[in-house]
Structure 1
Amino acid sequence: MDENPYCLYPCEPNWVYTICNLVGISGIVLTDRLLGKTHGAQIRQRFESSLEREFSDPNGSIVPIRSELTGFTIPGLAGVLNDAVNSILCASFLPHIAHRNWAFTKKENIRYVDGKLQIVNLKGADKLDPGNYKAGEGCLRAIVAAAAAEFGDEVMTKDLLEQLDDEYHPIIKTPTGSLKNKGLSTIEQGTALRARLGGYQDWCKMIQKGPPERTMRGPILEEAPFPDILVAKAYSQDGVSLDLVLYNGKAGGTFALGFTKLHEGKTYALGNERATADAQGRASFKVDVDGRTAVKLTLVR
């Protein structure tokens, strides 16, 4: 980014993809916070200027692709898909651009007709899943739902996910008992999950702020036999204990869990079991899991 005349750089030979660069800049914001660097601040003015002057249409939409050598773009490549993704990816670095993208996406592409949500004015790539290149408008529901969740449009998020699950990619159960949307690509399964879990500005806050400092002091669930155990929650509220929510991936049973970042020589309890942390701050426990199992690792003495 420092060296390229556009600041944005080609992630493939010759082709500058704005989405890829926005993913990269989000990573820079995150690593600046974690490592105490200022790389994002140093290039912010150049990056924003290039994004607005070289990679945006007069209507405010960000151009998805441009040739580094010729400046050529591919007309009509994507519309609402591109705008919705960019409204998320700009949020942590250029929030004013993010909000602008989401505002015109809602105004120009979302309609409620007789109470039913419709996505209109679609272009070429809006009608396929970029994760597997299969045709269809179901993937678009996952992408727009993720953006709606990030900007706090809860009703829209719910309506889009219902369409995804009921009309476009029905939910099926895998051999492990997990649920997925049939035919939806892996990357967009993740996008749909983000929409299901996310709330207002969650993505932005995760990058800019991260979890509270106390959670980083707490114990870590280091070992769990995946996929026999599925971890739905492992979170320290106080920096001392660890709240867990576990599911069995296949059959229920008794499973061994390993923890680290414990206090050497201290005794911990998990369910009915107790164990003492070794010199490396580790300890193991067995836990019975059959369906949703909520347990808490606590410091006894």
Structure 2
Amino acid sequence: MDSANTSPVPANLPVAESNADDLATQCYFLDLLLQPLDEWRGFQVIEQFGLSGIRYELNFSQYALAMAQYTRTPAFTGYLAEAQRNAILKMTNRRVWSYWAIERLVGYGRWNPDPIVFHNIMYTAYFGMMIGLYETLNDDRRFSAPGSLTLRWNERKSYRYEFAGIANAIRVNMLQEPDHPQYPCEPRLVYPVCNTFALNTLRLHDRLHGTNLTGDLIERVRLSYDKDGWRRKNGRFLSCGTRSGRPLVPPSLFNDGSIASLLNPTMPDVAENTWRVLRNKCITITGEDVELERSVLDRIDAGNYNVNRGDAQARSCLMMGACEHGDDEALNALDRSIAARHDVIWSHGARQFKGLSPWSYGSYALGRWGRRNSMRDLVNGVVPLEWRTGPLLAQVAYPDVLVAKAVTDGAALELVLRPGNGPTRATLKFARLSPGRTYHVSGATVDQLIAATDGTALAEVDLAGRCEVRVWPAA
């Protein structure tokens, strides 16, 4: 985990334990991302130009797993980190980004397949945030090595990037029109929610790498919200417009619910006001259900164009906002309302709701797995020193072992494990132990272990149900 943050870090950040449904939801994302990089089994493939693109499936799968790591298993890397790395690497696959060559040609009359250098914030900013969240939670800078992310167009042409290159491209694009810093997704179309990913990427890179790419861009965007009419007098945001703010698409719950969460790291006052407006004007809790003040847009799940109970995307994004602002009443009611409208689909232990797009399901998971200010804290690096230096669970087999909780106080490691594929004896690999030191163990087949010279050690555990494992240094 990174060593820099912008806020005082409490040593006792809450760490929750995932229940059976949480773990089954994690399995949905893990099954997608732990397959070989050149395989796409289970991915939704409709088209790549619009909101059903694979890129959003990759983005929100990784964001969801990063949030699970942050709030439930900060002392576990293993397959959870591997899945996030795979999501980042899959973003470089040509099938994910080749749409931009056509969009740029049609929209701007120029041929250049590079999806990062010019506009296309819907790829670049979402991609950058993936890398920043991963680096925040894992002591791994492979994607910051120069040229570590190769986007191969054909045998003759490739575009080589890394985290810094992506972040610099965002800054350049935002400063092309300094008085109108929000820049387009599709040609000439600006979406405020997409630009929250840009600001978060810049904030993440600056914190992790000591740069100052953000500069005054947060304040420039803030001024633009009101000067260019992006934020209406009622506190709602336009969903889409031209760069100068000419309105094209009216406010939507999907848009504003996302902004309430994703803008909290950089403009917490605007994010809080957005949630307060949504809560007071658009959400009515009636017993076990939730009634929404919806627009036509909110009746469609834009991630799969489902119009049959398609407001699940609006409900999922509102869950993100409710979670981020600590509104447990709304969060739980929205969760229940989705479950009441959508049957659960089970596949080899993985859980998904019928009809929900992967994007919506990722938003749903962010709402379930976050906590008050969790996105704000994660982007701003609120990570206790003990989590960055203490023992961790570095490796365990998936799906044999599901990690429901993993936390360290800097010296001891506490785990809650469950079997994912029936009763099993599993090997756990621990890391960041003090080399040569003896540790006590409870919950495993041994009661003591000695750390190797590289700070690792192995232990076996018999899993038949919920199992607590604890590792702590001997006196």
* Coarse TM-score class (shorter-chain normalised): 0.7 to 0.9
1:45, CA displacement in angstroms? 2.0
Aligned to 2:163: none
Q: Deviations over 1:92-139 (max 9, x none)?
A: 11112112211221222112457743101x223311223222222223
Q: Deviations over 1:191-219 (max 9, x none)?
A: 22222233322222222242211111111
SS in 1 for 2:232: coil
Q: Deviations over 1:248-287 (max 9, x none)?
A: 2111201112122121111234334233222222222211
Q: Which of 351, 354, 372 is the equivalent residue of 1:179?
A: 351
Alpha-carbon distance between aligned partners in 1 of 2:426 and 2:287, rounded to the nearest angstrom? 51
Alpha-carbon distance between aligned partners in 2 of 1:269 and 1:187, rounded to the nearest angstrom? 43
* Number of equivalenced pairs: 295
- 52 and 280 in structure 1: CA distance in 2 versus 1, 3 angstrom threshold: farther
Alpha-carbon distance between aligned partners in 2 of 1:214 and 1:89, rounded to the nearest angstrom? 27
Aligned: 1:26 with 2:197: no
TM alignment of 1:121-270, pairs within 5 A: 122-135=294-307, 136-166=310-340, 168-176=341-349, 178-236=350-408, 238-270=409-441
Alpha-carbon distance between aligned partners in 2 of 1:54 and 1:12, rounded to the nearest angstrom? 19
Alpha-carbon distance between aligned partners in 1 of 2:189 and 2:225, rounded to the nearest angstrom? 15
- Whether the aligned pair in 1 keeps the contact of 2:232 and 2:238 (CA below 8 Å) is no
Between 224-233 and 198-207, the greater mean CA deviation after superposition: 198-207
- Structure 1 unmatched runs, 5+: none
Alpha-carbon distance between aligned partners in 2 of 1:55 and 1:62, rounded to the nearest angstrom? 9
Higher share of residues assigned strand: 1
- Whether the aligned pair in 2 keeps the contact of 1:18 and 1:55 (CA below 8 Å) is no
Alpha-carbon distance between aligned partners in 2 of 1:228 and 1:185, rounded to the nearest angstrom? 27
Aligned to 2:268: 95
- Whether the aligned pair in 2 keeps the contact of 1:18 and 1:65 (CA below 8 Å) is yes
- Whether the aligned pair in 2 keeps the contact of 1:112 and 1:118 (CA below 8 Å) is yes
1:34, CA displacement in angstroms? 3.0
Between 286-295 and 27-36, the greater mean CA deviation after superposition: 27-36
Aligned: 1:80 with 2:253: yes
1:41, CA displacement in angstroms? 4.5
1:154, CA displacement in angstroms? 1.4
Between 43-52 and 248-257, the greater mean CA deviation after superposition: 43-52
Alpha-carbon distance between aligned partners in 1 of 2:185 and 2:336, rounded to the nearest angstrom? 35
Aligned: 1:53 with 2:251: no
1:22, CA displacement in angstroms? 0.2
Aligned to 2:283: 110
1:201 counterpart letter in structure 2: N
Q: Which of 64, 87, 93 is the equivalent residue of 2:239?
A: 64
- Whether the aligned pair in 1 keeps the contact of 2:324 and 2:375 (CA below 8 Å) is yes
Alpha-carbon distance between aligned partners in 2 of 1:115 and 1:222, rounded to the nearest angstrom? 41
Between 12-21 and 145-154, the greater mean CA deviation after superposition: 12-21
Alpha-carbon distance between aligned partners in 1 of 2:259 and 2:422, rounded to the nearest angstrom? 41
Alpha-carbon distance between aligned partners in 2 of 1:115 and 1:280, rounded to the nearest angstrom? 53
1:300 counterpart letter in structure 2: A
Q: Deviations over 1:151-179 (max 9, x none)?
A: 1221121111111112x223343322x43
- Whether the aligned pair in 2 keeps the contact of 1:11 and 1:20 (CA below 8 Å) is yes
1:226, CA displacement in angstroms? 1.3
- Whether the aligned pair in 2 keeps the contact of 1:164 and 1:170 (CA below 8 Å) is no
Alpha-carbon distance between aligned partners in 1 of 2:229 and 2:452, rounded to the nearest angstrom? 56
Alpha-carbon distance between aligned partners in 1 of 2:327 and 2:201, rounded to the nearest angstrom? 25
Higher relative CO (Cα under 8 Å, sequence separation at least 6) belongs to: 2
Moved over 6 A (4+): none
Q: Which of 459, 471, 475 is the equivalent residue of 1:285?
A: 459
Alpha-carbon distance between aligned partners in 2 of 1:279 and 1:12, rounded to the nearest angstrom? 53
- Whether the aligned pair in 1 keeps the contact of 2:225 and 2:231 (CA below 8 Å) is no
- 187 and 268 in structure 1: CA distance in 2 versus 1, 3 angstrom threshold: farther
Aligned to 1:294: 468
- Whether the aligned pair in 2 keeps the contact of 1:22 and 1:89 (CA below 8 Å) is yes
- Whether the aligned pair in 1 keeps the contact of 2:391 and 2:432 (CA below 8 Å) is yes
2:238 counterpart letter in structure 1: V
Q: TM-score, normalised by structure 2?
A: 0.57
1:62, CA displacement in angstroms? 2.2
Q: TM-score, normalised by structure 1?
A: 0.87
2:260 counterpart letter in structure 1: S
Alpha-carbon distance between aligned partners in 2 of 1:126 and 1:98, rounded to the nearest angstrom? 20
- Structure 2 unmatched runs, 5+: 1-170
